[in-house]
């Protein structure tokens, strides 16, 4: 399973008054990482492409350690196909100055593949499954 990597830096506007990243920013970065994976596969989460849309049906998250101001973070995204769903596993790592890394956040997002009218498919169309 291919893993796509996307790096971010925690800026002042991402944090609360204690210098800890606001929890909602993770969801924004996870969405950007999922979008990058889909675009790399020739698909698009944002626009109906060839009649397909990919609404988020479920998302689970687990906070392990806080991200803080000026931390370098990396989202690693992998995709699994199960029935009519795309399951995105997205751990987030803090990249330390010494080259080590620390797992700080875990997320699994389930997107259901639907037609342009948001009717779910029973199986993922070949055009999508072959992209992965």
d(CA 12, CA 61): 23
Q: 57 and 111 in contact (C-beta within 8 Å)?
A: yes
pLDDT more than 90, % of the chain: 72
pLDDT in tens, 65-82: 999 999 999 999 999 999
DSSP state of 24: H
pLDDT in tens, 110-119: 999 998 888 9
Q: How confident is the model at residue 49 (pLDDT cuts 50, 70, 90)?
A: low
Average of per-residue pLDDT across 29-57: 84
d(CA 83, CA 61): 22
Sketch out the chain's domains with CATH numbers. 4-129 (3.10.129.10)
């Amino acid at each position: 399973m291919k893993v796509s990597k996307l790096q971010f830096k925690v800026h002042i506007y991402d944090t609360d008054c204690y210098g800890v990243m606001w929890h909602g920013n993770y969801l924004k970065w996870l969405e950007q990482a999922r979008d990058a994976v889909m675009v790399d596969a020739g698909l698009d989460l944002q626009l109906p492409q060839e009649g397909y849309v990919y609404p988020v049906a479920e998302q689970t998250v687990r906070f392990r350690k806080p991200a803080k101001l000026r931390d370098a973070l990396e989202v690693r995204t992998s995709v699994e196909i199960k029935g009519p769903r795309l399951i995105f596993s997205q751990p987030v790592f803090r990249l330390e100055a010494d080259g080590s890394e620390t797992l700080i956040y875990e997320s699994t997002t389930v997107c259901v593949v639907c037609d342009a009218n948001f009717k779910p498919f029973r199986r993922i169309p070949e055009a999508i499954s072959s992209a992965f």
